[in-house]
Amino acid sequence: MPVALAVAGIGGILTNAAFPYHSWWWAGIAGLGLLFLALHGARAGRGFLLGLVWGLAFFGPLLSWSLTSVSGHWLPWVALTVLEASFIGLFGLLYAVVLAREISGGREALVGALLWTAVEQLRMEVPFGGFPWGALAHSQVSGPLLSLAAWGGTIVVGFAVALAAAALATLATHLHRPVGTLTTAVVAAAVVAGSVFVPLPSTDAETGSLEVALVQASVPERGATWEAQGAEITANYRRLTEEWVATGAAADMVLWPESAADLDPRSTPEVRESVDGAQAAAGVPILFGTQRYPGDGTRFNEYLVWTEAGQVDGYAKQHPVPFGEYIPMRDFFRSLSSAVDMISTDMAAGTEPGVLEVPVAALGRSVQVGVGICFEVAYDPLIRENVLLGAEFLVIPTNNASFGFTQEAFQQRDMTRFRAVENGRAAIQVATTGVSAVYAPDGQMITGSTDELYTEWTGGATIPLRESLTATAVMGGWPRIVVWAIAGLWVVAALASHRRMEEE
C-alpha cells in the first residue's frame, strides 16, 4: 500500500508538469499512467484513497494561485483542492469496482480511459456549475494531440490522453501476456503518433479579415484596491491607445481586457472621458470590461462595445466563479469561516449569450465577436454556444492582477489556444497584467506579449474571420452524454455482477 500511495502521489506531481510553467505535454500521459499503475488490483476503498492522493498531489500545486488571489488565506485553496481531488478519488473507486470483473488487458485500458473521461466531464459540471481547471486536454496544446480538439474537444483529447496512459500502465502490468501486451503498446503509440496526421482547422478567411489591436496596461500598484486606482488604470489604457495610434498603426477594433474600466464609464464621468478620448483617437470601436451595480446588492461583470455614440452592445458574464466572485449558500459557509465575507458583493450571472455585434467600417457590416470573460474560457458549452450563434472569432478578456506572479495567466492562455483549434476560430486573450496572445484557428500564435507579468504592451494582428463549424461544434454536448451513458452502464453491470457473486 505505501508503494502504491507513493506512485499515485508522484503521478499527480508529474501530471502537474504537463501544465504551465513546465508544459511538458507528455507528462500528462506519464503521470496519469502512474495512477492507473497504482490502481492495478485495488479494491474500491483503496481505489478511492489512491485517486484522492493523486488528486491532492496534482491539484494542490496546479491551483496554488488561489492562495495569492485571497492574500494568503489557505482555506479556499485547501477546500478547492480537496473538492477536485475527491473526483479523482471517485474515479479510483469506480475503476476498482469495474476492473474487479477480470476484464482483459486491452479492454482494461479502454474502460479506464472511458471512466476517467466520464468523471472528468462530471467534474466540469458539478457542483455549482463545475470547475474545468486542470482538464487533461488543456495540457496538450504543445503536443500532437491538440489536433484532436477540432474533432471532439476536451472529451476526445482527454480520452486520448487517458487511453495512452492506461495502455502504458496495462503494458507494465501484463508483460506475461505477449499478444495482449503488444496490442496495448500499439494502441498507446497509435493514439499519440496517429494524431499527427489529423488535420488542423484551416486558417483561411471565410468572411473577411480583421485588423485588431490589443492593449495591456497592467496596474499602477500591485496590492492597491481596484476602486482606489480604477480611474488611473483606465487613463493608462487611453494613454497606451493614443501612443499606439501615434505610431501610425491602424485597426478595425481595439481590445482592452476585463476591468480595464472597472469604474463604470456610464456613471463615472472621469472614466467616461478616458474611454471617449481613446475611442476618438483610435476612430474605431473599443471593447472593454467594466462592472455594473444595479442597486440590489449585486454586480455584473460586463464587456462592452463602445463607439462615438457610447455603448452599442454588451455582454454580462454568465458563469461567475463560486467562492471567487460570489458565495453560494453564504450563511452556511459563513458558519464555517468568516473569510467568505471577503467577497462582500456577489456577482450576478448574465442571461444572454456572449456574442457581440461590432460595427466594422472596412467591411461595411458588423462582425460577430464571441466573448468569454476570464474563467469562462474553461467552459466548453459556453464558448461553443458563441460559435454556433455565429461568432467569427473569439475574445477572452481577463484580469489576472490578483493572481500575482503565478502560473494562472499561462494556464488560461493555454485554454485560449485550445479553444482556437477546438472551434476553428482565431482566439484572443487580452489581459490586464499579462499574458496577452492572438492565436490562429490552427493554434499557432500570431502575436503576443512577453511572458513577463505586470508589463505594459500593445500589439496588432490580422486575423481570419470564419463561419464554418468544426466537428466539435456540430456534435455539441452529445459526446459527453454518450460517455456518461456508456460509463454508467459499465458501472451498473459491474455492481450487478458483484451482487450475483455474493448471492451465489
Active site residues: 258, 317, 374
- State the burial class of residue 221 (Cβ atoms within 10 Å of its Cβ: 0-12, 13-18, 19+): exposed
303 pairs with which residues across the strands? 289, 315
- Grid coordinates in use for 465? 474571420
| Alpha-carbon gap, residue 273 to 280, rounded angstroms | 10
3-state SS track over 163-196:
HHHHHHHHHHHCCCCHHHHHHHHHHHHHHHHHHH
* Counts for the chain of helices (H) and strands (E), in that order: 15, 13
The residue behind cell 498507446 is 188
Q: Is 452 helix (H, G, I), strand (E, B) or coil?
A: coil
| Alpha-carbon gap, residue 408 to 419, rounded angstroms | 17
The answer to whether 98 and 494 have CB atoms below 8 angstroms apart is yes
Ramachandran bin of 416, using left for φ above 0, alpha for ψ from -120 to 50, beta for the remaining angles: alpha
| Alpha-carbon gap, residue 217 to 237, rounded angstroms | 6
DSSP 337-370: -GGGGGS-SEEPPP-S-SEEEEEETTTTEEEEEE
Report which secondary-structure segment, H or E, holds 307. Answer: strand 298-307
Counting every residue written for the chain, the total comes to 504
Neighbours of 206 (CB within 10 A): 12
